[in-house]
Amino acid sequence: MTPHKQKRYFNRDLSWLSFNYRVLQEAKDPRVPLYERIKFFAIYSSNLDEFYRIRVAAWKNLELLAKKTKKELVEEPSFVLKEIKKTVLKHHAELSEIFKKQILPELQQNNVYLINEVELTKQQEAFCREYFLSKIIPIVKPVFINRKKSHEFVEDNAPYLAIRICDLDKKSNKDKPRVWEHAIVQIPTGSLPPYIELPTRGKKKYYIYVGDILKLYINHFFEEYELIETYAVKLSRDGELYLEDEFSGSLLKKIKRSLGNREHGAPTRLMYDRTMPKEFIKHLRHVFTLSADDLIPAGRYHNYKDMFRFPVNENKALYDEPLPPLPHRELDSYTSYFDALKERDYFVHYPYQSVNYLTNFINEAASDPAVKSIKITLYRVANNSKIISALIQAAQNKKQVTAFMELKARFDEENNLVYARELENAGVKVLYSFPLLKVHSKLLLVERKEGEKIRRYGYFSTGNFNEQTSKIYSDTGMFTANKLLTTELGYVFEFLADTRIMRDYKHLLVAPDHMRKDFYVFIDNEIKNALKGKKACITLKMNSIQDPEIIEKLYEAAQDGVEVRLIIRGICCLLPGVKGISDNIKAISIVDRYLEHSRVFIFHNDGDPRIYLSSGDWMERNLSRRIEVAFPVYDEKLKDEIIDFVNLQWKDNVKARIINRLQSNTYRKSEAKVKIRSQVAFYEYLKSKHNPSLKSVKADVVALKKMGA
């Protein structure tokens, strides 16, 4: 089997690595404030840890399949794993270089010094010793690793010191080779701050990584040994396999049967200090059951995600300029959300505007005597969630509250189960995951008695009901009382309560039943217009596009003259700009201070745009194996707002990277005099819209529009 059966698509996981490199680009971009760059180091590291736990683990397990079954895969697992490793090693080398030659010197220019155990003054060393004795000793304990399966106690993606020691008596006999023993101890970054401030004088501040303090006094645990060597390591484990997200039908059954006896939690990656002796590496390979391909040499620090907790600095210039949430002038002019929604639909854009508009709406519904029921889908919920509290309050106020809780939300399963029990104890009717379908849509329906009739109010969102992520994820939510939409929203909740109830949808696009078919109809309509010589354009903004069938449909559209514009934050398996295949397709990716998370689908439709938003991407799993809902925008003012938003993104010439067939992540160059950083530009756009007196801001927006933004 050739490495690539298909030459028309970019490998999904190599494309994801290309996205994570865009995160690393933010870490090395001198235009980004220093402490924001440090944050991007942490994001890069955290992302990669999850990637090894899930995606690399999946490929390693597919590598174990029988040859006959492997032949049915699109790509050879061993080839993909080699390409992944080659890419990761290249990125790691650049990461280390950036940190050493850019970040550390710039910290020092700002009187912040991150030093190691050999750079301490006597006063600082005395402080570290006291810290070790009082804080570290009580919570750490080395464990000897001299047998296979020693990895079973090692925590996934946690930082450790690997130690090799030589006994004095065994070493003293010159006629015999040294006999080494090996141990491992976890660096306590979970229990203690990763970076410890050291005593200093004057303006300069000194910090040391807690692992370096542990390393400095590691001999405390091995006093009977003479020779002690320590090296930083980090082990990644095989996480839960989500095979249903990737495969279906007979191939899924074959894979499950083949992997039935796999070892869950088996190691998938060992990052280690490249100065570690070969004999020590060989020993770790043996006890952790690793292959040579699982080894990732790195520097003395592997856990850059600890930099999420790098000590804050009082110098505001080292951070992004604050963009406080903007008011929504129209919604604020009403004392009741229900009165506002009787007039028209409204968008709230996070984090540009506050999530309080959503929580206030739910709180009003919870306390309004006329409200009879509240229905909601919950996928990822914040800690200490105000939304959960409002739902509980509604149940206590005798409302009929129904919450569909998705228990298969990756990494949030336990948190969701806790909240589900809390809701049930309060009297909320909780519906749970379906066996083969993940409910990923973000929906809210409020039913209110007005006169003799029940009126429905809905909220559709591209992002989760999560107050924490709404501060950093760029998402859009739509409040509506449009009967066409709220009636069909009711149909969705009927289905979630009883999957035997099937309805026809004329306005909402609902997966897995017919969303894919509806998108095909819209694409075919653009093809028809292009063939008639009319303007035909498709503009798509998503996190990821991977589904082969819909990619082929876009290739077909491009070949027939449809202009296709893609704004893809993450995975892009489509190859733009390939002669004879996708000449008419252009793609960019924007990585900036906020995580682009909204999904927008715009079809020109001969001058009468069809616009849909959704929480689902064009991934095979979203279109075929998840319950997703795309909602239309019918309000003309809101249509203009979305078009302005997407056009600002398309004109971005500061944070946009071009996605080409090689995914080389070249920044878009522009000869335009006006620099457009789309996230900041959209903030100014909303500020102008909801604060008409700000003439200077309005002038900026007018200038952008004159440019075609």
What pLDDT, in 10s, does the model give residues 311-367? Answer: 999 999 999 999 999 999 999 999 999 999 999 999 999 999 999 999 999 999 999
pLDDT of residue 58 exceeding 60, the answer is yes
Quick one: average pLDDT of 291-314?
92
Predicted confidence at residue 265, as pLDDT, reads 66
pLDDT band for position 643 (cuts 50, 70, 90): very high
Please report the beta strands in 187-261, taking only residues with DSSP state E, as ranges in sequence order.
Answer: 195-198, 205-209, 225-237
Contacts of 649 by beta carbon, 8 Å cutoff, 6+ apart: 541, 567, 590, 656, 678, 682
The secondary structure of the chain in percent helix, strand, coil, rounded to multiples of 5, reads 45, 25, 35
Which of 151, 328, 440, 604 is catalytic? The answer is: 440
Alpha carbon distance 94, 510 (integer Å)? 43
Quick one: average pLDDT of 220-228?
85
Q: Would residue 2 count as lying in a domain?
A: no
Q: Would residue 108 count as lying in a domain?
A: yes
Find the CATH number of the domain harbouring 533.
Answer: 3.30.870.10
Alpha carbon distance 488, 500 (integer Å)? 16
Quick one: average pLDDT of 289-294?
90
Q: Would residue 669 count as lying in a domain?
A: yes
**Terminal Cα distance for the chain, rounded:** 47
Question: Strand 143-144 and strand 295-298: pairing?
Answer: unpaired
Asked which of 497, 520, 536 is the last residue of a domain, the reply is: 497
Pair 573, 11: CB distance under 8 Å: yes
Structure tokens, 115: 């030093």
Predicted confidence at residue 249, as pLDDT, reads 56
Same domain, 299 and 447: no
Find the CATH number of the domain harbouring 216.
Answer: 3.30.1840.10
pLDDT of residue 241 exceeding 80, the answer is no
Same domain, 298 and 350: no
List the single range of 228-237, 368-377, 404-413, 626-635 with lowest mean pLDDT: 404-413
Tell me which residue range forms the domain holding 381: 329-497
Q: In terms of Cα–Cα distance, which of 659, 652, 655 is closest to 576? A: 659
Pair 131, 196: CB distance under 8 Å: yes
Quick one: average pLDDT of 593-612?
98
Q: Would residue 381 count as lying in a domain?
A: yes
DSSP state of 459: E
Same domain, 584 and 457: no
Alpha carbon distance 541, 656 (integer Å)? 13
As a whole number, the mean pLDDT across the chain is: 89
Same domain, 567 and 455: no
Task: Specify whether 507 is catalytic.
Answer: no
Predicted confidence at residue 171, as pLDDT, reads 47
Same domain, 160 and 224: yes
Q: Would residue 52 count as lying in a domain?
A: yes
Alpha carbon distance 1, 76 (integer Å)? 7
Same domain, 398 and 491: yes
Predicted confidence at residue 180, as pLDDT, reads 84
Q: Would residue 365 count as lying in a domain?
A: yes
Higher pLDDT, 701 or 179: 179
Same domain, 382 and 284: no
Same domain, 170 and 112: yes
Predicted confidence at residue 699, as pLDDT, reads 44
pLDDT band for position 2 (cuts 50, 70, 90): very low
The amino acid at 293:
D
Asked which of 471, 497, 523 is the last residue of a domain, the reply is: 497
Q: From residue 238, how far is each of 56, 219, 235, 255, 261 by CA, in Å?
A: 8, 33, 10, 16, 14
Same domain, 552 and 481: no
pLDDT of residue 486 exceeding 70, the answer is yes
Contacts of 51 by beta carbon, 8 Å cutoff, 6+ apart: 13, 16, 17, 20
Predicted confidence at residue 60, as pLDDT, reads 87
Q: Would residue 321 count as lying in a domain?
A: no
**Helix, strand or coil for residue 131?**
helix
Same domain, 280 and 368: no
Alpha carbon distance 338, 55 (integer Å)? 45
Higher pLDDT, 430 or 501: 430
Same domain, 582 and 619: yes
Structure tokens, 469: 């992520």
Asked which of 462, 497, 532 is the last residue of a domain, the reply is: 497
Q: Would residue 390 count as lying in a domain?
A: yes
Structure tokens, 450: 């007005």
Q: In terms of Cα–Cα distance, which of 570, 599, 567, 617 is closest to 245? A: 617
Contacts of 604 by beta carbon, 8 Å cutoff, 6+ apart: 526, 529, 535, 536, 537, 538
The amino acid at 177:
P
Q: To 10 degrees, what angle do helices 678-690 and 695-706 make?
A: 130
Same domain, 156 and 241: yes
Question: Number of structural domains, the chain?
Answer: 3
